[in-house]
Structure 1
Amino acid sequence: MPLVKFTSANLPLGHEEGLCEAVYLSLAERAGLQPPRWQLLPAPEASGARAWLAVERFDRVWRPEDVPGCIHLHSACGLLDADFRAPSLDYEDLIKASGQLCRGVNAAQLQFLRAVFNLFAVNQDDHSKNWAFLQSDGGDWQPAPFYDVTFSPGRFGEHSTAYAGFGKNPPLKAMQKLAAEAGFASWEQARQGIDRVLNALADFSATAKALGVSAETTRLIQQQLDQAYQQNIK
């Protein structure tokens, strides 16, 4: 069963909110960041929207061969006692917790690259409830899909989750510290993943056009993506 995100003209991007999130989910998938499955549903003409975004409920079991039910989910908010209402989480803590909880560097490195995506994609609403973990019946944990990822500038350009102590424009030493915490053998190895993220984000305008985002909104977001690239490329 999907979760359908309805839109409103009062939202920052109006009725294009769902379209823009669909673009970001597409780019995250290309970057290998494991977002949830999604689709765009035609919206009634009277709604004022072109389409609404439907996202898979990844905390439910719906496969025909399984018994329907819930998958245990725990947010970083609850797990790390990090208040989502105010900046209270650091990617260093999230990466460390991911490696320990999921028992390996793969989860930690995935979270690092998701942090990189948020940095360059200007997804600054990256608070502690937008990070979660799923537990299997056997007790094994894994990061939840990369959800609620979209263009979302924060107040004063600050991220809700800090980068080794920096709310915005983290210096090279901060990103290297996070990469080391994630278990990359070297900064050069981490850069390979970063380049994959940047290459995916380079397709923003083309993907936005393909999914029906207006030229005006595409230009608005692309300008800020370009600015984020200039401020943060190391």
Structure 2
Amino acid sequence: MAIELAEVVLWGTTIAVVRWDEQAAVADFQYTPEFQQFGIEVAPVVMPVRAASYRFANLNKDTFKGLPGMLADVLPDKFGNALIDQWLIKQQRSPQDFNPVERLCYTANRAIGALEFLPTQRYFEDDTDAHIEIEKMVRLASLVLQKKQFEIESPDLNGEALEQILQIGTSAGGARAKAIINWNEKDNVILPGHVETKPGFDGWLIKFDGVSENKDKELADPMGFGRIEYAYYLLAKKAAIEMMESRLLEEGGRAHFMTKRFDRIGNEKLHMTSLCGLGHFDFNDPTSTSYEQALVLARQLRIPREHVAQLYRRMVFNVVFRNQDDHTKNIAFLMGRQGRWRLSPAFDVAYSYNPKGLWTSKHQMSVNGKREGFELDDLFAAGEHTGLSKQKIKQIVGEVLACIQLWPDCAEKAGVSHERMINIGQSFRTFDY
């Protein structure tokens, strides 16, 4: 029988209940009386704490699945849902019968961020000591995305392997194949990352390189995409973009991009919500949201002034270096137990430009009303929403543009081919600055 009622838990306390209305295909969300006295806001913009319930029937069902944005953020995305759908087939269940609240309970305590859901649905036993074989995970991810059910049943890709990738791959978010892992760098041992980290291990997110059918909308990931993302990580650091430590894990001719988790301090969980979840800015509608709106929301959260400047710097970087998959799920905010918000470190910072594509031929968020054809004055105009001085705005733009000359060195260090480095570099917006 499908689950229709779940508790929303934060740091061991039930803060709300969510009930699925099957007939209306929408959820009702209500904060508990106890949490109403806490004095902190987990969704302050669209769902501030109150006694009455919330229902968001008019939100895009493809994006929010009938849930409030904060909860929709937690749901598995394209790759995670592909994994779950394969598991449901094995259980002789229809994916359509697995409602969004049930998917939250499936996620249980494995989600990115701090939200957890009860009743926990344990469909398999956690094996916290099972070593992860990256090569096997890549092959299984390829088969899942290609929907090759027969080959998934092969002896070396058994039910145990599918359970393992379900545990580590369904909560990572995003369209592309990735997983949450715990990595011991000294011994090069990889364990499942959905549980507490053991001494000597750190939590990482790994994006699988060389996975067939691994793409987001029209942008496929060719072999070597991990190297390009790592080159962009090096470049972003040069441009003073705050990012978590990132690496390349090389095996079998592949280079998997890895980045440390920022939603954990040791084993302490931080509450995390995207711009999409916080403001109900639909990441599937690129005409609906501007960077100016993101800057205004950031100031509404009363994040530190330097974080507003950092968000503006990321906008400039995305425009200059053609990260045009800059949708509202790729900006996130963090909150600790004290209820104070901050901008999360940057993530999904990569070359994303297809001049013939429906999506990434233009930016997913506008700047001064434009998604392409920018001029310097557009960047400066957006800066007026930061509360920063004109001098500071020009300084940030100049510092980012100065990093264009560093691209060849970053690409070489990451192992990007010379031809690919040239092709990418030719697309940068220089603004003749």
TM-score range normalised by the length of the shorter chain: 0.7 to 0.9
Superposition deviation, residue 223 in structure 1: 1.2
Once the two structures are TM-superposed, the CA of residue 104 in structure 1 deviates from its matched residue by 4.1
Match of 1:141 among 341, 357, 366: 341
> 1:16 matched to which residue of 2?
224
The structure showing larger relative contact order (alpha-carbon pairs under 8 Å, at least 6 residues apart) is: 1
RMSD: 1.8
2:297 corresponds in structure 1 to 97
Q: Deviations over 1:128-164 (max 9, x none)?
A: 0000000122111111111001000153631001102
User: For residue 380 of structure 2, what is the aligned residue in structure 1?
Assistant: 176
Does 2:356 correspond to 1:152? Answer: no
Unmatched tracts of structure 2, length 5 or more:
1-202, 215-219
Equivalent residue, structure 2, for 1:207:
410
Q: 2:327·2:365 contact (CA, 8 Å) conserved in 1?
A: yes
Change (3 A) 1:171 1:199: closer
Asked if structure 1 preserves the Cα contact closer than 8 Å seen for 2:304 and 2:342, the reply is no
TM-score by length of 1: 0.87
> Secondary structure, in 3 states, of the residue corresponding to 1:142?
strand
Q: Is the 8 A contact 2:209 2:256 kept in 1?
A: yes
Change (3 A) 1:210 1:171: closer
For the 8 Å contact 2:274–2:328, the answer to whether it is kept is yes
Q: Which amino acid in the other structure matches residue 130 of structure 1?
A: N
Aligned pairs, number? 220
What amino acid is aligned across from residue 69 of structure 1 in structure 2? E
> In the alignment, what sits opposite 1:65?
none
TM-score normalized with structure 2 length? 0.48
Partner of 2:234: 26
Choose the corresponding residue for 2:423, options 217, 220, 223: 220
Higher gyration radius (CA): 2
- The structure carrying a bigger helix percent of its residues is 1
Give the drift of 1:71.
0.8
Moved over 6 A (4+): none
Contact 2:295 2:385 in 1 (8 A): yes
Q: Is the 8 A contact 1:35 1:145 kept in 2?
A: yes
Is 1:4 matched with 2:206? yes
Unmatched tracts of structure 1, length 5 or more: 63-67
Q: 1:56 aligns with which of 257, 260, 265?
A: 260
> Structure 1 CA distance, aligned partners of 2:329 and 2:376?
27
Q: Is this contact kept in 2: 1:95–1:109, CA < 8 A?
A: no
In structure 2, distance between residues paired with 1:200 and 1:172: 16
Amino acid at match of 2:327: H
